[in-house]
Chain A
Amino acid sequence: MAGPSTTTPSTGGVLESLSNDLAGAVDRAGQSVVAIHARRRIPASGIHWRPGIIVAAHHTIQREEDITVSLADGTTAAATLAGRDPTTDLAVLKVDDAKVPVASLGDGAGIRVGALVLALGRPGSAVTASLGVISTVGGEWRTWHGGSIDRFVRLDISIYDGFSGGPLVDAAGRVLGVNTSGLSRGAALAIPVSTVNRVVDQLVKSGRVARGYLGLGMQTVRLPAPLVERLSLPNDVGLMVVSAEPGGPGDTAGILIGDVLIALADRPVADPTEVLSLLGGDQIGKTLATRIIRAGESKTVSITIGERPREPRAARRGR
């Protein structure tokens, strides 16, 4: 080897151009990422979604009053909680005079398996970023709290403080969704823009997302073959009622613990999530003809769908 040398930095290469693209995307999208002070210790992230409207992860909003947000321009604004939807882990805050840009929302075409993505956050004064890929994309799914989400978007990305409530961003700085680790045992998921828009509309309008409600706890049970045959049941499984909220719609309609639900409005039910899918907000007040088995006999009971009461805050998990 000839004489001493210094490692020669490469210039104008693909790595440098990728680096510039990523930093540029962070810079653009980061303008609409805010820090939300609504819990102890580390602030949570939020997104300036529409003028004066901040979207956040429900599980990170741990107090309902005395909330402030820090904006990208270094200013701090008071915020009021417009509403929260534990079932989709989303919350909406309102601020006056937010002089930072609103997020540039993608149309969903960018949600593809393998897409290079950034997760942004602002768990303090500075914007933070992590790099990863979209690892799974699926169809509409229902969260364990009964919320409906248009697409299942799982990420291969590291979760750090400020992840939940921050935007999932493509390499052009467009927002693909809202990140949360609170919907699936701490796994990194994104809630797509279309779902966020729907929930924001409802929360801004009424402060909550209305859900139908029967007030019944149910569990799938296998039915004995002779019974299935004798009553010509559509399935060899049904849903046994294991709890009934006193005064709830099911209780009021005369449903007893131990009854087995077979069909609602002529639709056989074999899994509690199938019941949830029949209880959208627009079903409140409607009557469901419910086929049950009680003491070995088939019976039909009319249940009037109620509105799910505001529930206590969902389990807080994730960052």
Chain B
Amino acid sequence: MIDTPVEPLGEALAELASTLRRSVVEVRTRGAGAGSGIIWSANGLIVTNAHVARTEHATVVLWDGRTFDGVVTAHDSRRDLATIAIDPGSTALTTAAIGHPTDLRTGDLVVALGHPWGITGAIALGIVHVVETRRGAPRWIRADIRLAPGNSGGPLADARGRVVGVNTLIAGGLGVAVPTTTVSRFLDDEARRARSGYRAA
């Protein structure tokens, strides 16, 4: 039986949001609207959706308003993932804590953070509707949560604030996120490609 008091629930959610938003950026590209992104590493690697980062350059705005010129360094339209590199210089970046999509259960609380309709740093609360798997591995996280354009590229996080997915699309009213396990594979593939000297042109 649930005996969770409501007030601490609100406080915990507010704390989770204020922590998580430090690792969430706004991604602006010429022509397209704004999307969201996740600070993946302290050296300035940002993960977002491929459909958010369609151009070679993007402007990246941190939670506190600091703005950087970013270069789109990898773009995978099949997985709908992209990376943007920024040079943080002496600026300290807060990276996102990454969770385990394989541990998600239907009914688990999830939080989305992003810039729906251009509203900065908006939070949404929902639950896991179903984790769609392929050969035992998570393929899509479908969430009963209210998302909007501008959430794309932003994090879907678990009840502890760990990022488990990249919010990518809305299908049949459900928020659909690419699991972070897929992001890791994408980053590994890109690293391997960089080592082999391969460059798409």
Interface residues of A (CB under 8 A from B): 1-11, 13-19, 21-27, 30, 116, 118, 126-131, 158, 160-161, 171-172
Contact = CB atoms under 8 A, between A and B. Distances in A.
B18 to A, nearest CB: 10
A10 B109 CA distance: 14
Given A2-B92, A14-B4, 5 more contacts: A6-B97, A7-B94, A15-B9, A126-B132, A130-B127
Given A6-B96, A9-B97, A118 B107 contact: yes
A129 B95 contact: no
B135 to A, nearest CB: 14
B106 A127 contact: yes
A4 B42 contact: yes
B97 A128 contact: no
Contacts of B131: 126
Nearest to A132: B144
A18 B9 contact: yes
Interface stretch (B47-55, B74-82, B156-164, B182-190): B156-164
Given A4-B95, A131-B144, A160-B129, A9 B161 contact: yes
A26 to B, nearest CB: 3
Nearest to B1: A172
Given A18-B4, A19-B159, A126-B130, A27 B105 contact: yes
Interface in B121-142: 126-132, 142
B41 to A, nearest CB: 9
Interface in B91-130: 92-97, 99, 105-109, 126-130
Contact of A13 (B2, B12, B142, B144): B12
A35 B35 CA distance: 37
Find the residue from B22, B42, B160, B172 having the highest chain A CB count within 10 A.
B160
Contacts of A9: 97, 99, 160-162
Given A4-B92, A10-B12, A23 B160 contact: no
Given A6-B95, A10-B15, A21-B4, A15 B160 contact: yes
B128 A129 contact: yes
B61 interface: no
Contacts of A6: 23, 94-97
A18 B16 CA distance: 14
Interface of B: 1-2, 4-5, 8-9, 12-13, 15-16, 19-20, 22-23, 42, 92-97, 99, 105-109, 126-132, 142, 144, 158-162, 172-174
A8 B127 CA distance: 21
Closest 7 CB pairs of A and B: A26-B107, A4-B42, A19-B159, A23-B105, A171-B2, A19-B109, A23-B107
Contacts of B20: 7
A116 B1 CA distance: 11
A81 B15 CA distance: 52
B105 to A, nearest CB: 4
A7 B92 CA distance: 13
Find the residue from B9, B99, B109, B174 having the highest chain A CB count within 10 A.
B109
Contacts of A15: 9, 12-13, 16, 109, 159-160
A21 B9 CA distance: 14
Contact of B127 (A10, A14, A129): A129
Contacts of B162: 9
Contact of A5 (B2, B92, B99, B106): B92
A117 to B, nearest CB: 11
Contacts of A23: 105-108, 128
Contacts of A24: 107
A8 B160 CA distance: 9
A10 to B, nearest CB: 5
Contacts of B15: 10
Nearest to B10: A14
Nearest to A169: B107
A300 B13 CA distance: 69
B162 to A, nearest CB: 5
A22 B109 CA distance: 8
A19 B106 CA distance: 10
Find the residue from A9, A22, A23 having the highest chain B CB count within 10 A.
A9
A18 B109 contact: yes
Nearest to A159: B173
A211 B131 CA distance: 44
Contacts of B4: 14, 17-18, 21
A116 B160 contact: no
Contacts of A14: 4-5, 8-9, 12
Contacts of B107: 19, 22-27, 118, 129, 131
